[in-house]
Amino acid sequence: MAPSSRPAVYRATGIKRPLTEQELVTALEKLFSEDGTIQIQAMISPGCYSHDVIDVALVTFLPKAPTSLEEMIRNRDSVLIDTEKGQLLFDRNFHGLTQLYPTTKGVAVTADIVAVTGLDGHAYGSWRSRESGKMWLRDFLSESFPTCRTMIYGYDSKLGSTVGMHRILDYKRAFIEDLKMTRRLTESTDRPLIFICHSFGGIIVAQTLVSAARAEKFADPTQYAIFTATRGIMFFGTPHRGLLTEDILSMVDRNEQPERTRLVESIDTSSQELRTELEGFIGIAAVGKFKVFSFYETKKSRKLVKGPSGGFSRSGDWFFPVANDSALLDLPGDSEVAIPVHEDHSNIVKFSSPQDSTFEIVRHHISEVSAGL
């Protein structure tokens, strides 16, 4: 399918109620009138942090973003824009938690679904099909689970970053605080939780749950509730026992980015730190209070190769970045379901249609763990 099947999607925050989607689109059309051939779509959902005060919109521009917007946000994390409906903050990194679609009006939210991307991934783009342009967490789950609050979590995971966090500990702490903020209200603190994780995102979630389980001792009920409310975790290609990092390290300048180098080394197959933390997670997972679904790739990926212009492409030798014995936890009994996926490490979390066989499995297991909620 043509590249235009993946139109530009931005996040706009600061939307004051009762602004409607059509009113937002009309305001943006006036703002970007010089790009008259661009079609604008918007989906407004409640903000994850402001609770009943400020909404957030996913704004889609077809076939591409307005030139003026691209110029304003170039080399910046976000840009504040004046519209006839007030000031809106636009960004395309989706850092923090973002609700992907509004839940059914007048019906209580039944569960929180939180998806966490991997290292060098994008909170929104990592889950988006290259063929159809569909982002299944939004486009498919909204149809199947309209009463679930489905969110993505973004963080500075780019390998080229020199200013972001560089330790798993820091990522975990930030994720915990974001979860606590969005679940701090009485009606959401104990709401059932389902995690969907890709690669490094699974390590963050696993270590988050270990810390949450220990929080009871420190009289932090909101954090402890993250553990007690968890009903299921879907790990997609998560390197619990490390991954092969040789080609990833080739993208990192050891002299200019020593912290980033250490982060990548901390998730290598030789990492003792990773194995020690894993023991803690296996300890709480084996109890059986939540179900684990471990999806592992059965197609090889190509190694990254640096081209003559300095850019990297996956054109090297074929290999498995995450071996089966790293992707699978081997939990006792029926605590873990192992699911092979005939895709490579990147495409294991990209579904082009609701009829995709792996998505059908995902939908079934979400229904399974949420039954009776």
Domain boundaries, the chain: 3-91, 96-370
Query: What pLDDT, on a 0 to 100 scale, did the predictor assign at position 1?
Result: 37
What DSSP assignment string belongs to 167-178? -HHHHHHHHHHH
Q: In this structure, which amino acid lies at residue 282?
A: I
Alpha helices of the chain — where are they, by DSSP H?
A: 21-31, 67-73, 136-139, 141-144, 168-182, 186-189, 200-214, 221-229, 246-249, 258-265, 272-285, 324-327, 357-370
Which CATH number is associated with domain 3-91? 3.30.70
User: Which SS3 state, helix, strand or coil, does residue 325 take?
Assistant: helix
> Cis peptide before 308, with omega less than 30 degrees from 0?
no
Weakest-pLDDT range from 21-25, 244-248, 342-346: 244-248
- Answer yes or no: is pLDDT of 35 > 50: yes
Query: What pLDDT, on a 0 to 100 scale, did the predictor assign at position 2?
Result: 40
Tokens 């305001």 — which residue? 27
Q: In this structure, which amino acid lies at residue 105?
A: K
> What integer is the mean pLDDT of 328-335?
90
**φ/ψ (deg, to 5) at 239:** -85, 70
> Strand pairing partners for 98?
152
Digit-coded pLDDT (tens) for 201-210: 999 999 999 9
Cα–Cα distance for residue pair 244/261, rounded to 1 Å: 14
User: Which SS3 state, helix, strand or coil, does residue 281 take?
Assistant: helix
Torsion of CA 325, 170, 182, 363, to 10 degrees: -10
Weakest-pLDDT range from 141-155, 219-233, 246-260, 329-343: 246-260
- Answer yes or no: is pLDDT of 288 > 90: no
Q: What is the mean pLDDT of the chain?
A: 91
Q: How confident is the model at residue 254 (pLDDT cuts 50, 70, 90)?
A: confident
Q: Which residue has the higher pLDDT, 241 or 333?
A: 241
Nearest to 129 by CA among 265, 43, 272, 6: 6
Side-chain-side CA neighbours of 103 within 13 Å: the count stands at 18
Digit-coded pLDDT (tens) for 55-97: 999 999 999 999 999 999 988 989 999 999 999 999 999 999 9
- Answer yes or no: is pLDDT of 46 > 90: yes
> What integer is the mean pLDDT of 313-322?
89
Q: Which residue has the higher pLDDT, 43 or 255?
A: 43
Weakest-pLDDT range from 63-67, 188-192, 251-255, 337-341: 251-255
- Asked if 14 and 54 count as a contact pair (C-beta separation under 8 A), the reply is yes
| Cβ density class 169-198: b for 16+ within 10 Å, e for less | eebbebbbebbbebbeeeebbebbbbbbbb
Other beta carbons less than 10 A from residue 273's beta carbon: 15
> What integer is the mean pLDDT of 170-175?
96
Nearest to 190 by CA among 115, 123, 108, 278: 108
Weakest-pLDDT range from 119-128, 207-216, 242-251: 242-251
**Residues counted in the chain:** 373
Query: What pLDDT, on a 0 to 100 scale, did the predictor assign at position 4?
Result: 46
Nearest to 322 by CA among 303, 345, 302, 342: 345
Nearest to 243 by CA among 319, 172, 316: 319
Looking at domain 96-370, which of 3.40.50.880, 3.40.50.1820, 3.40.50.1000, 3.40.50.300 is its CATH number?
Answer: 3.40.50.1820
| Cβ density class 276-311: b for 16+ within 10 Å, e for less | ebbebbbebbeeeebbbbbbbbeeebebbeeeeeee
- First CA to last CA distance, the chain: 39
